[in-house]
Structure 1
Amino acid sequence: MSHNTAEKLVKMANQIGAFFAAQRHSDAVAGTAEHLKKFWDPRMRAGIIAHVEHGGEGLDTVPLQAVQKLAGK
């Protein structure tokens, strides 16, 4: 995955996480994970999971934990 693609996925994931951030932390993580599962193309999910496996640079806490949840970690 190119650096530019990773940046776009990180930006989008952070925006989704920010939307859910007003909820209790565990609900925000679950809501973000559910959104990524339902609305992101499988290639996008694979890309953000790969980004997290390489450190997850730039991801806020809620989307980082949501992606880890999607990845089964």
Structure 2
Amino acid sequence: MAGDIARNFEAMGHENAVLATADHIYQFWDPRMKAAIFADDRSKLLPIAREAIEHLASKGDPGSQTRATKFNEVDGVGRSDAG
């Protein structure tokens, strides 16, 4: 799934796509999903997805990168792809 997200942001350019992918994972992924991807072998991920996970692991929240993640600031509910 991280690769699919990364592919969707590719058109933004590499660095922006890394931060947007990290933002999406930070905002919307369930804690269990985050724990699983941090534990997985990152070498199999696309470079954008791998760097996004590395950013989250070392620096944490990348800040809002796309309008799609700003809605969560309104009431704090959701925070997952499931709605």
TM range (shorter): 0.7 to 0.9
| Runs of 4+ deviating beyond 6 Å | none
Q: 1:19 aligns with which of 8, 33, 36?
A: 8
* Greater helix content: 1
Structure-2 residue corresponding to 1:46: 35
Number of aligned residue pairs: give it. Answer: 59
Identity of aligned residues (%): 42
Question: Where does structure 1 lack aligned partners over 5 or more consecutive residues?
Answer: 1-11
Match of 1:60 in 2: 46
Q: In the alignment, does 2:23 pair up with 1:34?
A: yes
What RMSD over aligned residues (CA atoms) do the two structures have, in Å? 1.2
Bigger-Rg structure (1/2): 2
Query: TM-score scaled by structure 1?
Result: 0.75
Unaligned runs of 5+ in 2: 60-83
Shift of 1:17: 0.3
What is the TM-score of this pair, normalised by structure 2?
0.66
